[in-house]
Structure 1
Amino acid sequence: MPSTAISKALLSTLLLVTSSCAFSVFSGTSEQFHIDIVTLEQGATIDGRLDEPQWLQASITELKYETSPGENIAAPVATQVKIFATETSLFVSFVAQDPDSSASSNLIRANITDRDSLWGDDLVGIKLDTFNDERLAYQFFVNPYGVQMDSIENELTGQESNAWDGIWHSSARKTPQGYLVEMELPLRLFNFDSSLDIQTWGIEFIRFYPRDKNHRLSSHSIDRNNNCQLCQLGTSTGLEGLESGQDLQLTPSLVMNRSSQRDLDPSQEWKSDNNIEPGLDIRWGITPNTLLSATINPDFSQVEADAGQLDINSTFALFYPEKRAFFLDNKDYFDTQLQLLHTRNIVSPDYGVKLTSKVDNHTFALMATNDTKTNFLVPGNLSSDIASIDEESHNLAGRYRADFGSELSIGALVTAKQSEQYHNYVVSGDVKYKPTQHDTLTAQYVFSTTEYPVDLFKEFCSQDTCLPDNSCELGDCGTNERVLRTKLDQEISDDFYRLKYIHKRRNWYAFTQYESAGDDFRADLGFISRVDVTKFVAGGGYIWYPLNSSFSRIELRGDWDISHNQAGELIEQEAEAKIEFEASMQSYTAIGFINRKHVGRRHDASTLAIEGNTQMFTENIGWLYSSFTPARQISLELDAEYGDSIDYSNDRLGTQLLINPEVEWNITDSVSLELSHMYRRLDVNEGNLFTANLTDVRLSWYFNISNFIRISSIYTDIQRDPSLYLYYTPKESQQNLGNEVLYGYKLNPQSVFYLGYSDGMQSNNNIDTLTRDEQTYFMKLSYAWLL
């Protein structure tokens, strides 16, 4: 369907919805659960003692329900919660009774570890929807050692992100009867409507009690026949007389590093560079529902190495998540159903500014930064890659969303990325409609305009020279779709749209989705890796909740999808079936089978045609994923796959074996070892094409919840048989080793001191032993001043 017809159809649907709906309220209700929060003049000292008189005046409730794996049954252990407020903070305490806390059994699962790395521990916490509109909820959890975990749950996208880090206070200690926790949540953490005399917030108190199964305990029951979680919060009222003062946080930072590189030759001298970079982050809460963030010469260095990934026999660019504080703050205000803003594309900015606000039912967000370089993703339908222009770019993103009751949200997003010879502008509209508690309809339409530098295509030529027909003179020409996608002599424009419908009940669900990305569509501030493609998906599943069984949940699921390019030529057709089990030892196991038809590489690199220019292959693949905790100290995971796999380098079918075991061993409560190994092997008729191994090892020792030392190594070993490659001759052997030693002190997420060393080593056909070719010494110091 043409894009104009689609946009008219979306508009007609939207007008019909807004004109005919009588909106009911699904957000937190007092019938579900209710607590009145008293406001006191003085707060409590957060020391894990609960001996102040304020706790005697606090509001009290209990966690009476187990919502998983049991379905609203009586909680197996007792948990008492107390809560009160002052004009500046919310105070919460938990007294968690536990029959396993005695010295003889000591089955409480708790570790001194990094913030946000607590899943699997005993936890208590609170969920707060400060606008009580079921759009976003803050979550705060603490384990028996006082280690914190916070996150934001986004009902619009259905995702939960623990990347956000707030500054709040907690303390905990074990007792002969279990453990207790104290929390202080400064109101400056939250966005809320300050014009109200008395606040009404959605609320849930939660405890995770992991033993043979991970029991989730709650202040109220949860209906599995309702697919909206934030709709089922209870309510809290109170918080009278909140001061909507102008909260200000200043975080100066200083980063120093010495980086050295040399060619891969032990006889070469090192070339070193010393850098000292001061910076400043500013966070100004103009009102409780309006936040201004700014950064000057920010430190966006990666202190913690990204998880290792094998980039072999893959044609699409790898995805890496965002970890930088400025971009994560109120990131959810920019989210849509499509990933149109992926700020990892902004690599090295000198400054940034962001304004986010929510007024009544209207949400606004605006962000602007520069970037000393211009990086973006060049998408395609068979491959994608990262392009880089050595020019400063300016980046802009703006988001608006209107919420009409609980059922309907309408939003718009604009992004812009521009340098001297390049620009990409994107405009999007989206809608989410929930006519019942079982049904959800989402739709999004996006339009883009892009102009590339005239010689950008040369970046993707293997030998730095391109022939007049756009193909490469030498090298791996068959995968160079990026040359044709970037060899343009004029501005290009195109659109993307997606329609999705889900019907979900307690025991079964069904869904269908259709999306279309035009040939010339680009979203360079996002992560849309496939264009010139249409895709239709349909599927569903059935769920059992066995009683009196070692299994707590069984799900049978299947789906079918088909993809074409915009010319209607078949790219892929796939059917998948899988079965999932949740059972004893906190185990989760999924087994699946895939039957897929997919095209290989293009034979003629000078055209984007599929039919008559590619070969269609049929793949049959079986896979397994399993995770379980056989003992308090050990968690195990296994990801395995065996079956047919396209050899994209040589355009033929091979047989792949993938095995990826992972082990997390808590040697003591403060010392942990994480070990992951990935083994991939691809065989063709003539022999073994390649064998790849990746090992990721991380040893952490926490002296207390603030001080730690971490040693990490990521080792990659790829062995190929060059005689089996038909179009080019690759390296026979390739080895890489990256090491890092890091000492860290964290007073809070923004007040930190890091001191570390990292290096990189390689070997290749010419040098057969690992040789160091880069090394870095670094220090970072930052402190958050709360004014």
Structure 2
Amino acid sequence: MPLIVRVASVLLSILLTSYLANAQGVRVRSLAIAPFGNITGDASDEWIGTGIITSLETEIQNSQKLVLEDNGSDDRNSTNLITLSEHEIQPITAFLTSASQQNINLLLTGSYQRVGNQLRITARLHDVKTRTTVRAFRIDGTYDELFDIQDQLIDDIRSFVESPDSVIVDSENSTPSNTTNRSATTGGLALGEMTSTNASEPGSLGGGFAINGRPTVRAVRTDTPPNIDGLLDDRTWRDAVLITNFTQTNPVEGAQPTEDTEVRIAYDDEHIYFGFYAKYRDPSQMRANRVDRDQIRRDDWIAVMFDTFQDQQRAYRFSVNPYGVQGDAILTSGRRRFGPPGSGGDSSWNALFETSGTIVSDGWTAEMAIPFKSLRYPSVGEGQHNWGFQISRAIQTKDESVVWSPMTRNVAGLMTQMGFISGIEGLSVSRNLEILPTATAIQLGQLTDTGFEEADISPDLGLNIKYGVTSNLTADFTANPDFSQIESDRPQIEVNQRFPLFFPELRPFFLEGQEIFETPGRVNLVHTRTIVDPEFGAKLTGKTGKTTLGLLFTNDEAPGRLDDPTEPAFGQNGQVFIGRARYDLHTESYLGAIVTDREFFDSFSRTAGIDGRFRMGQTHSAQFVAVASDNRTLDGATKSGPMYDIGFRRDARHLNYRLQYNVIDPDFDTQTGFIRRVDTQRLDADIEYNWWPEHWLISWGPGFSYLRNVDHAGVLQDEDFRADLNLRFARNIFVRADGRQEMERYRGINFHKKRFRLNNSINSSRRFSVFYSLNWGDQVRFIENPFLGRFFDYSMGLTVRPTTRLNTRLDVNTSRFRNTTSDLLEFDVKIFRKLTTYQFTDRFLVRNILEHNTDSGAVGINVLLTYRVNAGTVFYIGYDDRLKEMTNFNDERFLFTELQRQRRAFFTKFQYLFRY
């Protein structure tokens, strides 16, 4: 029977029964049974859900103690039918509403999950009138015990509804049924406590898509905050709520973890506290390094995540490794997930929180104290805060990741699958005020026509202020900001590049909150690297109600630095304003607007546009952006044009695909963003399918993509077909191979190319990890008289960690191009970069970067000493030397190469964070 027929038949199948019909004369009630959800999404398991429904119907009808309600029909077995529209997912509210319209008293919902031979069935009984859960049931067993599990579920439901003591209870007090040999903590799938959520909670039952049965934990208030030393011996942890129920997401989705994890939670007026205990059967498999903050991605770690607005748009992530090293990031919706849940995100966000870790005989323990001032959350007055919440643990040696709130690849997104943390109340209402003064000093040296000249030491002062206007809206102001980059841009090969290269933002003032200004599509409308030298800046970011706001205003002294002082624009400053608003519709869905404006003297560059993203069911989403630009140059020339982009995609366990169409007018331009190419009408289509053996081969599958780009004159500019194969093995080994056939038009000539690529990464050891990429085939030489030649590109990254404190990474990027007609080598560029870090203590480290570019002959040497007290209070001492290979003749007139210093800098920076 087709799946849609079975689902439709179950949706329309409602059985009216009595709640109790015994000598005590309890009032008869009617019951509606909703379809049971298939969590893994495997079509071969659909019959299990249908069987559960059929068994429930049959057994209840045959019950001697349960009788059917008299609906005024002559047929005692007549049933009322709930009529629901056919969608991929029906939120519980749809069933509750339909049941209420038909005067049905109770609604039974549930789900089932099979992983290998393990099986779990969960069910919840809802009071239709009050829309609360009166009882939750959960039974674990094996696939072979399916019928026994069904009987146990029926018996548990009967026992509850027939009990004279069964009453409506608050959902927070509902507990799973106690079944013999089916303990969630000793076996089965360890999916966590399944509780209901209030229908008024955003992102859950109030609309859009949400996973039913997500777990909830109630935080415990403490009067004795723990001493954050990494040891779980404080009195706080004896009274804290304990979580031990976790589920694998990788390598075997839904399976029981191979290692035990304990997480304790408590809070007071100022902080929320976490105590972590990560156990190992073999502690030698633990992977941990003493590194700088936000550098623990390759280590074992535990992370907590908060969706404080429950809008499933944005979440905070805080993580810690066995040595207590911190990591934090902002997670945003609409992105494909790679790696353990909670990895990735925007790690440029640096929150103030405290951590400490200790390695023990059977694993590691850690403590974390997160100030509520480091979070943004809605005001609830004297009520309780209820946030989306997730816990994730990464065990790198096994390539294993586990979570508290179960997740499946058949549902796209992280925040849609979070659980909840509740019961937090009485938080401090004081406003967050941060004052961060900075002091810098730099001595520069520069090669001139008369030799190398050293300048005097140049001291400077700056001030940064952050003020919490409300608990969810923050204002930032910076005066005379120090935007000297502690780390320079990573070198890129610039030879034979047809389009401009992108260099990411590295400056803290612009990095924080940058996700608010992001829009979908191929054009980056806000690229703050275009603001070269600001004298001051102001920002307002946050959320009010369902509206996310971002306002940025700053000046820029760089445009007025002209060579000719008689120019009218000499010494003038540019002014930049960016405004962004986004209104949340429902789960991972929004409508937004953006305005950018850059003014300098008599010139301007302006854009205005709207955008949106829409979540459609478990796996599908659509997005769009439409923007108009208007520009005028200093000489009075004007141009304006539109850009729009629309996309549709599916992200799931097996089948994934994407369709995107983008149009950029020839006269579209923006001086506040980054645009690689104009005059395009581009169509992209991708499809891939993945199988999941989940053994030594974790997953594998082919993919295909097609690209077609036509200019506005109707001339085909690009066409590309690619086929690829992706392999993911156990122990963090990845292989990707692809081949493509392309047509690229350049200077009126159509060039037909064949290209191939092989990528491989291995991260199976704490001491070594390696990545390499090979690219070869046909390429165009982008010169005035272009021609087709052969190229070979090679990239490699090798990381060596001889001790837990020492980390060295060597990167090599090469590009070689040969003229196939003359067999002459056009160029052979190599870029070498070595980064070495030694962590003396948790706070003190030294870093050295060596770089060499064979094309330009440039050599770079950078040494940086860092003493970091926390995310805000840091002291730097640095040395940067830039040299160039020069060819000279010695006294004997022999040619030789020497290094000549081009510029040199000594610098110090000190900043101290005051928080009130």
Q: TM-score, normalised by structure 1?
A: 0.85
- Structure 1 residues 59, 375: closer, same or farther in 2, change over 3 A? farther
Question: Counterpart amino acid of 1:403?
Answer: D
Which residue is 1:203 aligned to?
A: 389
Is residue 514 from structure 1 mapped to residue 661 from structure 2 by the alignment? yes
User: Which residue of 864, 874, 883 corresponds with 1:742?
Assistant: 864
Change (3 A) 1:628 1:391: farther
CA distance in 1, matches of 2:570, 2:716: 34
Q: 2:443 aligns with which of 243, 246, 258?
A: 258
**Are 1:495 and 2:642 matched, yes or no?**
yes
- 2:431·2:468 contact (CA, 8 Å) conserved in 1? yes
2: CA distance, partners of 1:773 / 1:668 = 36
Find the aligned partners of 1:498 and 1:79 in 2 and give their Cα distance: 45
Q: Quote the Cα distance in structure 1 between the aligned partners of 2:532 and 2:761.
A: 35
C-alpha deviation, 1:363, in angstroms: 1.3
SS at match of 2:509: helix
Report the counterpart of residue 663 of structure 1 in structure 2.
798
Counterpart Cα distance in 2 of 1:657 and 1:279? 47
CA distance in 2, matches of 1:178, 1:234: 26
**Among 403, 408, 411, which residue is 2:589 paired with?**
408
1:631 CA drift (Å): 2.7
**Is the strand fraction higher in 1 or 2?**
1
Deviation at 1:390, TM superposition (A): 7.2
What amino acid sits opposite 1:206 in the alignment? S
Aligned counterpart, 1:112: 290
1:621 corresponds, among 755, 758, 766, to 755
Question: Cα offset for 1:491?
Answer: 1.8
One-letter code aligned to 1:32: R
The whole-number CA distance in structure 2 between the counterparts of 1:638 and 1:50 is 42
User: What is the CA distance between 1:408 and its match in structure 2?
Assistant: 3.3
Structure of larger gyration radius: 2
Partner of 1:712: 849
Determine helix, strand or coil for the equivalent of 2:533: coil
Q: Provide the C-alpha distance between the structure 2 equivalents of 1:233 and 1:430, rounded to a whole number of angstroms.
A: 26
- In structure 2, C-alpha distance between the alignment counterparts of 1:68 and 1:524, rounded to whole Å: 44
Distance 1:705 1:574 in 2: 50
Question: Contact between 2:845 and 2:865, CA under 8 Å: does it hold in 1?
Answer: yes
Please say if 1:697 is aligned against 2:834: yes
CA shift for structure 1 position 27: 6.9
1:298 to 481, 486, 489: 481
Give the letter for the 1:619 counterpart. K
Alignment of 1:603-642 (within 5 A): 614-642=748-776
- Asked whether 1:569 is paired with 2:711, we answer no
| Cα distance in 1 between the residues matched to 2:899 and 2:745 | 38
Cα distance, 1:389 vs. partner? 9.3
1:153, 1:566 → 2: CA distance?
A: 37
Residue by residue over 1:697-737, the C-alpha shift from the partner in whole angstroms, topping out at 9 and shown as x without a partner, is 1111110121011111110002xxxxxxxxxxxxxxx3000
Give the C-alpha shift of residue 107 in structure 1. 2.6
Which of 523-532 and 76-85 deviates more? 523-532
Paired amino acid for 1:59: V
**Residues of 2 paired with 1:24 and 1:538: CA distance?**
34
Deviation for aligned residue 1:253: 0.3
Separation (CA, whole Å) in 2 of partners of 1:127 and 1:581? 30
Distance in 2 (CA, whole Å) between partners of 1:408 and 1:210 is: 33
d(CA) in 1 for partners of 2:259 and 2:718? 51
Deviation at 1:30, TM superposition (A): 7.5
Whether the 8 Å CA contact 1:260–1:273 is kept in 2: the answer is: no
Verify: 1:43 aligned to 2:225, yes or no. Answer: yes
Q: How many Å separate the matches in 1 of 2:760 and 2:650?
A: 28
State the match for 2:813 in structure 1. Answer: 678
Match of 2:702 in 1: 556
Question: Cα 1:563–1:368, aligned 2, differ >3 Å: closer, same or farther?
Answer: same
Q: Is the 8 A contact 1:24 1:407 kept in 2?
A: no
Q: What is the Cα deviation at residue 421 of structure 1? A: 3.3
User: CA 1:412 to 1:373, structure 2 compared with 1: closer, same or farther past 3 Å?
Assistant: same
Shift of 1:269: 3.8
Q: Distance in 1 between matches of 2:866 and 2:651?
A: 45
Assess if the C-alpha contact under 8 Å between 1:26 and 1:232 holds in 2. no
Provide structure 2 residue ranges, at least 5 long, that are not aligned to the other structure: 1-92, 95-204, 337-343, 562-568, 890-896
Alignment partner of 2:690: what SS? strand
| C-alpha contact 1:171 1:181 (8 A) present in aligned 2 | yes
Count of residues in Structure 1 that have an aligned counterpart in Structure 2:
687
Task: Give the aligned residue type for 1:551.
Answer: L
Q: CA deviation at 1:274?
A: 3.2
Aligned amino acid, residue 737 of structure 2: I
Task: Look up the match of 2:493.
Answer: 310
CA contact (8 A) 2:722 2:740 kept: yes
Q: Distance in 2 between matches of 1:374 and 1:531?
A: 24
1:84-136 Cα distance to aligned partner (Å, 9 max, x none): 111111101110111222xxxx3311111121111120101111101111000
C-alpha displacement at 1:35, in angstroms?
0.2
2:803 maps to amino acid: T
Instruction: String of CA shifts for 1:409-446, please: whole Å, max 9, x gaps.
Output: 10001111111032111101011112322211101100
Q: Contact 2:311 / 2:588 at 8 angstroms: preserved in 1?
A: no
Whether the 8 Å contact between 1:375 and 1:389 is mirrored in structure 2 is yes
**SS in structure 2 of the partner of residue 224 of structure 1:** coil
Query: How much does 1:630 deviate?
Result: 4.2
Aligned equivalents of 1:279, 1:619: Cα separation in 2: 53
The higher relative CO (CA closer than 8 Å, separation ≥ 6) is in: 1
Letter of the aligned partner of 2:517 in structure 1?
A: F
> Distance between the aligned counterparts of 2:501 and 2:208, measured in 1?
39
- CA distance in 2: counterparts of 1:202 and 1:28, whole angstroms: 12
Change beyond 3 A, Cα 1:585–1:506: closer
Which of 457, 466, 472 aligns to 1:289? It is 472
Aligned counterpart in structure 2 of residue 215 of structure 1, from 390, 400, 414: 400
Q: Distance in 2 between matches of 1:598 and 1:201?
A: 50
**Structure 1: which 5+ runs fail to align?**
1-20, 377-387, 455-488, 603-613, 719-733
8 Å contact from structure 2 (residues 266, 272) kept in 1: yes
Query: Corresponding residue for 1:161?
Result: 346
Q: Does the 8 A contact of 1:156 with 1:337 survive in 2? A: no
SS at match of 1:270: strand
What is the one-letter code of the residue matched to 1:240? E
Q: Is the 8 A contact 2:333 2:588 kept in 1?
A: no
More displaced 10-residue stretch of structure 1: 698-707 or 767-776: 767-776
Which whole-Å CA distance do the structure 2 matches of 1:373 and 1:591 have between them? 45
The residue correspondences of 1:418-429 to structure 2 (distance < 5 A) are 418-429=599-610
Q: In structure 2, how many angstroms separate the alpha carbons of the residues matched to 1:562 and 1:375?
A: 42
Identity between Structure 1 and Structure 2 (%)? 26
Deviations 1:288-326 (A, max 9, x none): 101011111111111112222111110222212222221
Q: Does 1:244 align with 2:391?
A: no
On the 8 A contact 2:624/2:644 being kept in 1, the answer is yes
Deviation of residue 28 (structure 1)? 6.8
In the other structure, the counterpart of 2:576 is 395
C-alpha separation in 2, matches of 1:82 and 1:141: 15
Normalising to structure 2: TM-score of the pair? 0.73
Return 333-342 or 753-762, whichever deviates more.
333-342
Query: Is the CA contact (8 Å cut-off) linking 1:194 and 1:242 kept in structure 2?
Result: no
